[in-house]
């Protein structure tokens, strides 16, 4: 009986793990390589959930301009997602080709993930939990400081070159 009780407690008592930090993540880039977020320590980071068939898709150009003009102050990371309106239906290769051909994207892009719902990627779960804000459409942005702490959340309508973002760089 004692063994049964211990087994039940072991199964049903939630295991606590230390909270993950931004720099603990490792993710797959759009080209299949692994990116260790440890490499972003000491840098500000702008994370954006992107989509190729959205009214906000032209923000790719401004994200690329932010990368070019402020690349010494901020790292831009793009996360394709098909959560909103089915506006990112393509494969990783198709997304990569679209971004390069139409917007000359050279900032870091990642494989397509889910940023909302039950299958939300752990990174976006962390962003949501830490900031209290979740993307409600494509091109939502999170700005993090050099220590991986969230400085701000910006909805889709806020342009990447908006002073609300660039003033913090």
Confirm whether 54 is a catalytic residue.
Answer: yes
Which of the residues 27, 54, 74, 113 is marked catalytic? 54
10-44: pLDDT as tens digits: 555 454 444 589 999 999 999 999 999 999 999 99
77 closest CA partner among 91, 88, 65, 67:
67
161 closest CA partner among 151, 149, 153, 169:
169
Mean pLDDT of 86-99: 97
Across the chain, mean pLDDT equals: 91
Q: Is the confidence at residue 3, as pLDDT, over 50?
A: no
Q: Is the confidence at residue 9, as pLDDT, over 90?
A: no
12 lies in some domain: no
10 lies in some domain: no
Domain that holds residue 96: 20-166
Identify the CATH number of the domain in which residue 161 sits: 3.40.30.10
| DSSP 8-state class, residue 23 | G
115-136: pLDDT as tens digits: 999 999 999 999 999 999 999 9
- Identify the pLDDT of residue 20: 84
Structurally, the chain folds into a number of domains equal to 1
């Amino acid at each position: 009986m004692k063994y049964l009780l211990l087994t039940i407690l072991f199964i049903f008592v939630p295991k606590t793990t230390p909270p993950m930090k931004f720099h603990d993540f490792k993710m797959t880039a759009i080209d299949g390589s692994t990116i260790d977020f440890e490499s972003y320590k000491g840098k500000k980071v702008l994370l954006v959930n992107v989509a190729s068939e959205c009214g906000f898709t032209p923000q790719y150009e401004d994200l690329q301009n932010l990368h070019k003009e402020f690349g010494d102050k901020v790292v831009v990371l793009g996360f394709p997602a098909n959560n909103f309106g089915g506006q990112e239906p393509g494969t990783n290769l198709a997304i990569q080709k679209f971004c390069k051909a139409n917007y000359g994207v050279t900032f870091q892009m990642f494989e397509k993930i889910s940023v909302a719902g039950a299958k939300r990627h752990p990174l976006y779960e962390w962003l949501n939990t830490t900031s209290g804000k979740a993307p409600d459409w494509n091109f939502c942005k999170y700005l993090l400081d050099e220590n991986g702490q969230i400085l701000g959340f910006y909805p889709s309508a806020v342009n990447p070159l908006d002073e609300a973002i660039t003033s913090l760089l």
